[in-house]
Structure 1
Amino acid sequence: MCASIVAFSTSAQIEAPQPSPAAKVEQTVGLTNVTLEYSRPAVRERDIFGGLVPYGEVWRTGANANTKITFSDDVEIGGKTLAKGTYAIYTIPNKDSWEVMFYTDSSNWGNPQEWDESKVALKATAKVETIPFSMESFGIFVNELSNDGAVLDFVWANTAASLAFKVPTDARTLASIEKVMNGPGAGDYYSAASFYIESGKDLKQAHEWIKKATSMQEDAFWMWRRRSLIEAELGMKKEAISSAQKSMQLAEKAKNADYVKMNKASLKEWGAM
């Protein structure tokens, strides 16, 4: 009995919250998956940049194990290409700008014992601004999302450092369109047409694709809705009204109130109701 109590006491572990809790951010930018894993230290009434985190020195950019970022595609940062993969993020904060370094060895706890410049895959400069509030817990955020890129925001205390990156959405989507067009179905034509209209590309080509989509799947009210919008953009008012009416009829049959409402709004706008 006594021995079992001793064994239990030596193997039991106390659970308690960490002073710098772990965080994980997963964000899709265009077609590229971006994953961040890092720890979030707190201000706790300390002087952060220029104090706890000295200016001009390599910082682990967080706490505990390496702050890591993973890109599923090659990305562009500051006009340079960073190959897809996982990197540790190290920074050198300064008052007016930060140097951000993507380090190929992400297995360290904090800074490497010996810094190896050959493991720096890319260096870039992040712009810095003073924010009008204090962020108690350090955070890294993927903001300003677009099809073609986003911004990494490093925020702590009253400082925010921002680094933009670009993703290869256009190239990947166009390659996918070309590949699929060898034997596309209605959904493929619809997706291709949607991308073209949303990206400001060739509307006439988008119209050809959406016509093929609706001819292959005539009861797809969402495809007819897209077709009406493309036709309206092309100045084909009569055709747009006809397609919107078709979409509304099919949506009513499918009992999809949202598409009925959207089509009614368009038909009123185009003077057909």
Structure 2
Amino acid sequence: MYIKKSVVLFLAAGLISASAVAQNPKPRVSPPETVSGKIKQAKIIISYSSPSVKGRKIWGELVPYDQVWRAGANEATTFETDQDIKVQGKLLPSGKYSFFLLPKENMTWTAVFNKESKQWGAFKYDEAKDQLRVEVSPKALKDIQENLVYKINSKGFSLNWEKVSVPVSIK
């Protein structure tokens, strides 16, 4: 009888502990971020997870060249506009898109706006669902940007991380 009570108490304590852990998940290593702003009359919202450099080589290693990248961590980055806009001179209809980059060594990169806005990373990326692909030219940053950040300004937006800024023009 004593052994049965001990086992029951042990199991109950385990369930209570597991429940407490499930209710208090650890914060993500790459926290979710959202940036919004207006470019002319269009409201732009970019949602992403922000990884850190942490002493790693980012471009060409952590983020391989010549492969579609989710432009952040965890879920694919999303880009939303409430009006039709021109991205790098090409029409992007209003809507919510996943945003990817195709980085290349020493060349222009490709920015991709994909119609499938809800996806994890780029694991199920389907080029056939691309709404728009445009060429962008990365620029060198003077100082290291430890955490990946998106910035919106009157001329478009940029992704800044490590020693690279990727500006995307919007009109």
Provide the alpha-carbon RMSD of the alignment: 1.6
Q: Are residue 163 (structure 1) and residue 171 (structure 2) matched?
A: no
Q: Are residue 99 (structure 1) and residue 107 (structure 2) matched?
A: no
Aligned to 2:137, the other structure's residue is in SS state strand
Aligned to 1:12, the other structure's residue is in SS state helix
Larger Rg: 1
Unaligned runs of 5+ in 2: 1-7
Residue 43 (structure 1) aligns with: 53
Aligned to 2:116, the other structure's residue is in SS state coil
Residue 122 (structure 2) aligns with: 111
- Please give the per-residue CA displacement for 1:235-255, whole angstroms capped at 9, x wherever unaligned: xxxxxxxxxxxxxxxxxxxxx
Q: Which has the higher helix share?
A: 1
Q: Which has the higher strand share?
A: 2
Q: Are residue 154 (structure 1) and residue 159 (structure 2) matched?
A: yes
Q: Are residue 67 (structure 1) and residue 72 (structure 2) matched?
A: no
Unaligned runs of 5+ in 1: 167-273
Letter in 1 for 2:152: V
TM-score, normalising length: structure 2? 0.87
Alignment of 1:112-261 (within 5 A): 112-113=123-124, 115-143=125-153, 145=154, 150-166=155-171
Matched residues in 2 for 1:24 and 1:38: separation? 6
Letter in 2 for 1:9: S
Matched residues in 2 for 1:16 and 1:8: separation? 17
Following superposition, the deviation at residue 4 of structure 1 comes to 4.5
Residue 93 (structure 2) aligns with: 83
Matched residues in 2 for 1:138 and 1:96: separation? 21
Residue 9 (structure 1) aligns with: 17
Residue 229 (structure 1) aligns with: none
Distance 1:112 1:66, change over 3 A: same
Instruction: Work out whether residues 39 and 156 of structure 2, in 8 Å CA contact, stay in contact via their aligned partners in 1.
Output: no
Residue 37 (structure 2) aligns with: 27
- Please give the per-residue CA displacement for 1:139-185, whole angstroms capped at 9, x wherever unaligned: 11112x1xxxx22111111111111011xxxxxxxxxxxxxxxxxxx
Matched residues in 2 for 1:46 and 1:27: separation? 31
- Greater RCO between the two (CA within 8 Å, min separation 6)? 2
Aligned to 1:105, the other structure's residue is in SS state coil
TM-score, normalising length: structure 1? 0.56
- Please give the per-residue CA displacement for 1:25-48, whole angstroms capped at 9, x wherever unaligned: 121223211111000111111111
- Please give the per-residue CA displacement for 1:113-150, whole angstroms capped at 9, x wherever unaligned: 3x42221000111111111100001111112x1xxxx2
Instruction: Work out whether residues 39 and 170 of structure 2, in 8 Å CA contact, stay in contact via their aligned partners in 1.
Output: no
Matched residues in 2 for 1:29 and 1:163: separation? 12
Letter in 2 for 1:98: W
Following superposition, the deviation at residue 98 of structure 1 comes to 1.4
| Larger deviation, residues 69-78 vs 11-20 | 11-20
- Please give the per-residue CA displacement for 1:205-232, whole angstroms capped at 9, x wherever unaligned: xxxxxxxxxxxxxxxxxxxxxxxxxxxx
